[in-house]
């Protein structure tokens, strides 16, 4: 048992910590543009935590007055596993407004040059938060995942810990809403001949495909699919509700099932409909579960982002589960389309020339500054880093202008993230009402509890940042009472 106030704080933070997730992280693409040049790290005043620093070639011109490393703002990656650079502790980066130094060495936390801390949301833990928070530092969040990995960020107290965000939400500061869509060409892949799909059906395969191996998720998707299976055949190949095997052992590897493997895609393209259910229900959270069926010329039967229609290539591209009053009604509609080729093909009209009519989608693809597997554009990890760098350079300029002329230049107000930057409500059952689900149900025990614990974490960190030491004990007593009360809900 931990002793004293500090021990109590650490013990309770351990109670409220979010479980580590085994989900995948963003793919970090290696930078191109030549080998790294050596750069003399001795310009840092010893004993610098930044150590040796490298510099990549860049066509951009450095800003006058910021050529020495001592003048550059430092961006500290608090989640070092995502450091998007060559091996080493630090790297000079060139961005639109000028240069910064990106580092993953936590000893740089108290350095006066460290202007921003960069966090990856899945790895953000209350027990690892760098407190006390320094007034001159911004906190920047990169979290392209859903709250499956960290419910702390789905609540106001949690998301407002950050100044800058890069999430799936279009309302975040550096949006990643289309992180799974390479471009319009991806959507225009030709549709397999209907005759081939008809032959597939005659061989005894179902009209609907389900491929999931992550079975217990906040969206509770398996509960809905299980009910749907009572009304229409569904071929399920993943670990969840499995009733068929993929044709080869290699394809049965769950790692292969999450890639663009040609053999796997050829197999999946034989199905006319794909059940596409996200792991969580959040505005603008759309993954390969949605875009891959569209790429293959299958119709997604979708549940996920409530705002998904805003992003579709036209207004007749997908079947939304929530448009139907019951799984039985949905099954009847899918059966109707399965037997009526003309009506079915209307859902694939976007693949024809001029078929992508959604200007919002076209503009969003054109305006994003990052690309997917595009050598001419940065990946979103590097893009986010430069976004933070540019923000800090602008903030420094504003602070200097205020210092030089307080009456003419107001001190810059801090930018604070808002709940809309995640926008993930409390999980609800995939089918039926929460009151009808037994108390020992694994989904109910896990995700509703994690949702409330996420709120507790955000409140804990907010209080630790804003309260003084004499108020801490009262807060922790209160928080412990809240936790014990919710344990009995």
Q: Do 260 and 133 sit in the same domain of this protein?
A: no
- 180/168 Cα distance (integer angstroms): 10
Of 338, 363, 388, the residue that ends a domain is 363
Q: What is the pLDDT of residues 307-347, one digit of tens each?
A: 999 999 999 999 999 999 999 999 999 999 999 999 999 99
Q: Do 166 and 189 sit in the same domain of this protein?
A: no
Of 319, 335, 363, the residue that ends a domain is 363
- 64/232 Cα distance (integer angstroms): 67
Q: Which of 467, 418, 444 is nearest to 170 (CA)?
A: 418
- 489/487 Cα distance (integer angstroms): 6
**CA distances to 168, 328, 411, 423 from 116, in Å:** 21, 52, 18, 24
Question: 99 has which bridge partners?
Answer: 94
Would the CA dihedral through 397, 403, 406, 410 be positive or negative? positive
Q: Do 241 and 359 sit in the same domain of this protein?
A: yes
> Is residue 418 in some structural domain?
yes
What CATH number is attached to the domain comprising 259?
3.40.50.11660
> Is residue 442 in some structural domain?
yes
Judged by DSSP in three states, 92 sits in: strand
Q: Do 221 and 357 sit in the same domain of this protein?
A: yes
Number of structural domains found in the chain: 2
- 273/301 Cα distance (integer angstroms): 7
Q: What is the pLDDT of residues 53-64, one digit of tens each?
A: 433 333 344 444
Residue 149 has what pLDDT? 85
> Is residue 150 in some structural domain?
yes
Residue range(s) defining the domain that contains residue 350: 184-363
Q: What is the pLDDT of residues 12-23, one digit of tens each?
A: 333 333 323 333
Alpha helix ranges (H) inside 135-240: 156-159, 184-187, 194-202, 221-228
**Cβ proximity of 317 and 190 under 8 Å:** no
Which residue stretches of the chain have pLDDT < 50? 1-66, 468-471, 489
Q: Residue 120 corresponds to which tokens in the numbers above?
A: 């990856």
> Is residue 38 in some structural domain?
no
Q: Do 119 and 104 sit in the same domain of this protein?
A: yes
Residue 167 has what pLDDT? 97
**CA distances to 82, 92, 134, 167 from 164, in Å:** 17, 21, 16, 10
Q: Do 209 and 320 sit in the same domain of this protein?
A: yes
> Is residue 2 in some structural domain?
no
Residue whose pair of structure tokens reads 């799909």 in the numeric block: 197
Q: What is the pTM of this model?
A: 0.82
């Amino acid at each position: 048992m931990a002793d004293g106030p500090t021990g109590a704080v650490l013990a309770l933070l351990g109670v409220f910590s979010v479980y580590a997730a085994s989900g995948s992280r963003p793919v970090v693409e290696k930078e191109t543009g030549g080998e790294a040049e050596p750069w003399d790290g001795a310009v840092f005043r010893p004993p610098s935590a930044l150590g040796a620093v490298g510099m990549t070639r860049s066509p951009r011109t450095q800003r006058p007055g910021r050529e020495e490393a001592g003048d550059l703002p430092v961006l500290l990656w608090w989640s070092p596993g995502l450091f998007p650079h060559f091996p080493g502790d630090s790297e000079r980066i060139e961005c639109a407004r000028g240069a910064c130094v990106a580092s993953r060495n936590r000893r740089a936390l108290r350095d006066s040059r460290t202007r921003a801390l960069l966090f990856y949301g899945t790895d953000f833990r209350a027990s690892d938060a760098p407190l006390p928070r320094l007034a001159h530092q911004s906190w920047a969040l990169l979290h392209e995942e859903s709250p499956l990995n960290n419910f702390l960020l789905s609540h106001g107290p949690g998301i407002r810990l950050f100044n800058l965000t890069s999430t799936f939400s279009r309302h975040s500061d550096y949006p990643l809403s289309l992180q799974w869509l390479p471009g319009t060409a991806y959507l225009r892949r030709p549709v397999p001949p209907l005759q081939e799909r008809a032959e597939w059906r005659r061989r005894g395969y179902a009209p609907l495909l389900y491929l999931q191996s992550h079975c217990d998720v906040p969206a509770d998707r398996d509960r809905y699919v299980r009910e749907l299976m009572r009304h229409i055949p569904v071929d399920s190949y993943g670990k969840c509700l499995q009733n068929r095997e993929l044709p080869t052992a290699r394809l049965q590897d769950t790692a292969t099932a999450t890639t663009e493997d040609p053999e796997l895609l050829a197999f999946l393209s034989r199905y006319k409909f794909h059940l596409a259910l996200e792991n969580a229900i959040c505005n603008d959270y759309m993954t390969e579960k949605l875009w891959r069926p569209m790429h293959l010329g299958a119709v997604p039967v979708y549940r996920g982002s409530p705002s998904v229609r805003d992003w579709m290539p036209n207004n007749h591209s997908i079947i939304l589960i929530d448009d139907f009053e019951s799984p039985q009604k949905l099954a009847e509609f899918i059966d109707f389309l399965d037997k009526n080729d003309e009506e079915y093909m209307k859902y694939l009209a976007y693949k024809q020339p001029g078929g992508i009519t959604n200007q919002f989608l076209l503009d969003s693809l054109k305006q994003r500054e990052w690309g997917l597997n595009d050598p001419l554009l940065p990946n979103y990890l590097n893009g986010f880093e430069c976004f933070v760098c540019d923000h800090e350079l602008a903030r420094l300029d504003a602070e200097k202008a205020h210092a030089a002329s307080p009456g003419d230049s107001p001190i810059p107000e801090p930018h604070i993230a808002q709940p809309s930057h995640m926008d993930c409500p409390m999980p609800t059952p995939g089918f039926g009402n929460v009151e009808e689900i037994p108390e020992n149900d694994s989904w109910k025990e896990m995700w509703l509890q994690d949702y409330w614990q996420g709120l507790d974490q955000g409140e804990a960190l907010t209080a630790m940042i804003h309260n003084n030491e004499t108020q801490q004990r009262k807060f922790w007593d209160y928080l412990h009472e809240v936790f014990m009360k919710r344990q009995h809900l």
